[in-house]
Amino acid sequence: MSQLEMKKDQSMVLQKQMIASHFERLEQAPETKEPVVYTFVPGNLTELIRSFGCLPVLPEINALQSGMRGKSRAYIREAERHGHSEDVCTYVKCDVGMMKSGNIGPTGTRLPKPDLLLLSYTGCYTFMKWFELLREEYDCPTVFLHVPYQGDGVLEPQHRAYVIKQLKEKLIPMLEQISGKEFDEEALAQRLAWSSQAEDDLVAVLEAAKNSPSPIDSYFGGVYYVGPIFSAFRGTAEGAEYYKLLRAEVEARVAAGQGPETPSGRLDEQRFRLVVEGPPNWTHFREFWKMFSDEGACVVASTYTKVGGTYERGFRHDPKDPLGTLADYCGGCYTNLNLPDRVQMLCDYVTEYAADGFLINSVKSCNSFSAGQLVILQEVEKRTGIPGGFIETDLVDPRYFSPANIKNRLESYFQMLAARKAVA
């Protein structure tokens, strides 16, 4: 086993198979005539898409998978060769570069062209421009679902009605058109029930981190745990099965008093319990994780694992109110929350998960995440009294990951926490 490899849980193996088979199915879509809908993780409407027999493609998942598999560097270069600036979101450039290089997805299979671009706008303006670029390329129908920003911290009834109206009048007719099928509310309700079941299990998994030692790493391990529910498998029977298996694994670790598998081995001795804000770096994922696990640092809660849904706050997809629940889901996405809400969420994590530290990983090319992080840092420090750390990396551009520099900051941060603990 190389230094950065690690022991895989059964759920990880299963997830890999699920993702591979989904990409194979996508490759065959032009022959099987299954319509393909490109959409983004925050505010995704996978149950609705799937209820029409369509297959979802999530470009930012492809980009991060390309980053993890060492392919993003070439794709980003390709996009820059076509004139995209260094400052553009690297997810966008990775996707554009992949498209320009023949649209071979991260698992090595070809991705089909979209029959529909479905943008559920939930706070990231870059997503909108990204799909405009794709529309130029593919010349296919586009639906822009406008989800009102929760500036006041709540999704007002009129906002909810506004989203439902768009679903009824714009999206559903378009899905009927590209699939040739009529909207089937019962089929949607069935999928929402699977979602709800998976969400219950996912919340149990993430909340298991309240134990000491935590049986999971809620950031580095967490991104694997949310993989199926963030990508194509929310509202599917196999997705629900996956989360049942994952939950059992995690509960077994709790019962045995075990920590999670990490690149440094099983982390039973946890010196630091951290809350992390911001997405991880994907190009050096294991190396980055090892910088934490080598120091005995375990992430007990993270906001990134909530960008596809803030289920721990109580929301579940409700089969009894299919369209209303989709509107509620979109409105409550992490990216659609205002700063006070995000600060409160982090403060709650620090308290509920008994964290020693709070760390922000700021992403150079992601203004949507990083613009408010200074306020978040200062507010969380003020309210919780624990020291915040701040590091900077990138999503999928390996040029912006400087290992010595990041390790230096992390070590400094951990040593500071240790010094403070020693005098506490």
Partner 1 sequence: MDCFIGIDLGSTTTKAVMLDSHGEVLGRGITNSRSDYDRAAEVAKTEAIITARFNLLRREVEKVAGTELLEQLLEAFRLEQLLVQLGRLEELIHDEIGGGVSPDLQGAAREGVEHIFRKIRHEEDARFNANDRRRRSDFFRDIVGSAYFRLAEEIGNEGGASFDLLLSLYDKCIILVENEPLELGFHQHIDPALARIGEPPAARKGVQEAASIPLNVQSSVGTGYGRVRLPFPKENIRSEILCHGLGAHMMFPGTRSVLDIGGQDTKAIQIDASGIVTRFQMNDRCAAGCGRYLGYIADEMNIGLHELGPMASKSTRPVRINSTCTVFAGAELRERLSLGEAREDILAGLHRAVILRAMSLLARTGGVDDEFTFTGGVARNEAAVSALRQLIEENYGQRTLNISPSSIYTGALGGAVFALRGAA
Binding site for partner 1 (CB under 8 A): 364, 374, 377-378, 381, 387-388, 390, 392, 400, 402, 404-405, 408-409, 411-413, 415-416, 419-420, 423
Q: Which is closer to partner 1, CB of 249 or CB of 381?
A: 381
CB of 409 to partner 1, least distance (A): 6
**Residue 173, H or E segment:** helix 172-179
| φ, ψ of residue 403 in degrees (nearest 5) | -55, -45
- Distance from CA of residue 116 to its chain's centroid? 22
**241 or 392, CB closer to partner 1?**
392
Phi-psi region of 34 (alpha: psi -120 to 50; beta: other; left: phi over 0): beta
Residue number, 210 or 409, with CB nearest to partner 1: 409
* Cβ nearer to partner 1, comparing 1 with 423: 423
- Smallest gap from Cβ 336 to partner 1, in A, equals 26
Task: Give whichever of 27 and 392 is closer to partner 1, judged by the CB atom.
Answer: 392
CA 353 to chain centre: 20
The contacts of residue 393 (CB under 8 Å, 6+ apart) are 280, 281, 284, 288, 361, 362, 363, 364, 400, 401, 406
User: How many Å apart are CA 339 and CA 151, to the nearest integer?
Assistant: 8
Rounded Cα distance between 162 and 147, Å, is: 8
φ, ψ (nearest 5 deg) of residue 155: -90, 105
Closest approach of Cβ 280 to partner 1, in Å? 17
Cα 403–chain centre separation: 23
Smallest gap, in angstroms, from Cβ of residue 416 to partner 1? 5
Find the shortest distance in angstroms from Cβ 410 to partner 1. Answer: 9
State the maximum Cα–Cα separation within the chain, in Å, rounded to a whole number: 68
In the numeric block, the tokens 């500071």 are attached to 416
Q: Residue 165 or residue 420: which is nearer to partner 1 going by CB?
A: 420
Least separation, in Å, of the C-beta of 123 and partner 1?
A: 24
Supply the minimum distance, in Å, between the C-beta of residue 290 and partner 1. 14
Q: Which is nearer to partner 1, 53 or 387 (CB)?
A: 387
**CB within 8 A of 348, min separation 6: which ones?**
none
